[in-house]
Structure 1
Amino acid sequence: MSGDLRRIHGYYSPNDLYNKIIDGLDKLGKDLANVTLDDLQPVDEFHIRGDTATRELIQLAGFQPDMHILDVGCGIGGSTRRLAHDTGCRVTGIDLSDEYIDTAERLTRLLNMQDKVQFQACSALELPFADNFFDGVWSLQMNMNVEDKQSWLAETCRVLKPGGRAVLYEVCGNRNTPLYFPVPWAQDDSMSFLLPPDQFRDAIESAGFGIEIWNNKTDLAQQAFASAKKPEGEPNLPALGVYLLVGEDIQTKAYNLHRNLDEERVSLIETLVIKPGFREDNIQ
């Protein structure tokens, strides 16, 4: 593993994460025998606008129950499980972090969803799947830590069946630099690799995809972080939250993301892309 990957792996490898989540559920008075997707939402929907965005992206994707979908950069599997639950499709999630994958698997067993959702620890730059293997691809805010975007996108395209769709929901750069750090995905600029939207679009097309839908969601991201304030004193953290994934300085990270959005240093892009080719179920 390269130095960059080791830093990123370390950032997303909190100790004893599953038990910390269980402890949070206990503190909230949740019955562990009847935990729901909604109970886990405060900690496992680690992307801008959380579950609201996940549900919108599910509608955008149009995945069907007979499909097998790859979730690239699945984290602890919140949107992976929501996608499987709401569509009936089968989903395989991959992530670089062994700790995230272990937690994703254990939470999935807790929810009794292991028949529809599986996970594997690996790099998005070297996917351990055959060509044309998946019916669809789903990737929510993981490109920020990927310097070699061309390899990531080319691998994503390679494992997708011809005619298959991929949903990408990604933080990109914007007209101004540099960023304020830390942010939710990085402590400093050694872990953050953002392209402006036009360059990101060019990279997607260079990897072999055709772009069907391209939506700039920066205004909604700004609304989501509009109330983020510069923290003072000791953080007042909830029993369950994404700080368990990336550290107790999450309020500083949220405040910096708010500043980066408002000062046009970052943007948020939602896109639906297609791998060109023939697909029988496209025939009317």
Structure 2
Amino acid sequence: MTDSASRLNAHYDALAVAGGGNLLRRLRAAFRAAGCDPDRLTPEAIAGIDQLHLGGRAASHSLAALAGLGPGERVLDVGCGTGGASRLLAAEVGCEVIGMDITTAFVAVAEWLSAATGMAGQTRFLCADAARTPLPDAGVDVVWCQHALMNMPDVPVVLAEWHRLLVPGGRVLLHEVVAGDNPEPLALPVPWARTPATSHLQRRGALETSLAGAGFSPVCVRDVTDAALAWRQKHTRREAGEEAGRAPLPGPALIFGDTFVEMGRNLRDNLAAGKVRILEGVWRRA
């Protein structure tokens, strides 16, 4: 495991590293405590741990619609986390999806959640580094990536790998956090980083230059920061209430720990202060 992979596993599986137990076993126990059979779950029951990026399912719907995704398209979901977007694209769009993440615990949880929701036959997952993917050349029609590039220290290498994986004319679909115009340091921790060591934010211009250099042309790119901030403000209020009232179904705090409410507040404040912005876009491989 590379140093970067070790840092990311330590960040996203911090409770296990701190002695809080295996993430999969912890989540299964939490569902049992909430009165759910952990081997028979509904999309509604897993909503709190399904899609961990800003905007949740709505952001995934928006990105899929922007790209005009259709049935049968082969999609690689890079940085799939617990697999929520992979399941959504398979169930609602009819895509053939492979979810990939560098965090071992996330891949195990993604496989379990797909099996528990009856989606095991429509999704598959692998644990790998986005810069070194064990998949063949020109094997996918779409690379899908939501809130993962900001964890990757060498974006040009990753983009070159995506170019290799995509068929000619294939598309990159991004919903990504980028650095804003406010140069002040980020308020930390945030969901993707507790320290600067795992945060590799790029400015929008630098990211677009890297995409162009890797052979990708923009189809449609838009700034969706305002919508992301509104969503984060709403969920920050809800999470504060859940912290006091202890909502019965598992949520992100079971993954990130008690600091998750602080992470959410800091992300809200970073968005409001212009320290980060959110892009949604489609690029096409030449």
TM-score normalised by the chain length of structure 1: 0.90
Distance 2:127 2:255 in 1: 16
Distance 1:207 1:248 in 2: 40
Match of 2:69 in 1: 63
* Counterpart selection for 1:158 from 150, 154, 164: 164
The verdict on how the C-alpha distance between 1:33 and 1:186 changes in structure 2, with shifts beyond 3 A counting, is: closer
Q: Does 1:252 align with 2:259?
A: no
Q: How does 1:37-186 map to 2 (within 5 A)?
A: 37-176=43-182, 177-186=184-193
Distance 1:61 1:39 in 2: 28
Distance 1:87 1:175 in 2: 36
Distance 2:7 2:243 in 1: 25
1:162 deviates by 0.7
1:235 deviates by 4.4
The Cα offsets for residues 218-238 of structure 1, whole Å up to 9 and x where unpaired, read as: 111111123537x99x94353
SS in 1 for 2:150: helix
TM-score normalised by the chain length of structure 2: 0.90
Match of 1:269 in 2: 279
The Cα offsets for residues 243-262 of structure 1, whole Å up to 9 and x where unpaired, read as: 22222210100111111011
1:30 deviates by 3.5
1:49 deviates by 1.1
Letter in 2 for 1:273: W
Q: Does 1:217 align with 2:224?
A: yes
Match of 1:194 in 2: 201
Identity %: 31
Letter in 2 for 1:111: T
Letter in 2 for 1:243: A
Match of 1:282 in 2: none
Distance 2:137 2:256 in 1: 33
1:26 deviates by 3.0
Q: Which shifted more, 105-114 or 172-181?
A: 105-114
Letter in 2 for 1:204: L
1:2 deviates by 3.0
Is the 8 Å Cα contact of residues 173 and 197 (structure 1) preserved in structure 2? yes
Is the 8 Å Cα contact of residues 61 and 166 (structure 1) preserved in structure 2? no
Distance 2:58 2:33 in 1: 25
Distance 1:196 1:112 in 2: 40
Q: Which shifted more, 200-209 or 58-67?
A: 58-67
Distance 1:258 1:70 in 2: 29
The Cα offsets for residues 10-30 of structure 1, whole Å up to 9 and x where unpaired, read as: 212344222332333334433
SS in 2 for 1:39: coil
Distance 2:276 2:198 in 1: 15
Gaps of 5+ in 2: none
The verdict on how the C-alpha distance between 1:34 and 1:3 changes in structure 2, with shifts beyond 3 A counting, is: closer
Distance 1:32 1:8 in 2: 27
Number of aligned residues: 274
Letter in 1 for 2:222: N
Letter in 1 for 2:147: Q
**Large movers: runs of 4+ above 4 Å:** 31-34
1:38 deviates by 2.4
Match of 1:281 in 2: none
Match of 1:207 in 2: 214
Distance 1:32 1:255 in 2: 30
Q: Does 1:4 align with 2:11?
A: no
Letter in 1 for 2:228: A
Letter in 2 for 1:131: D
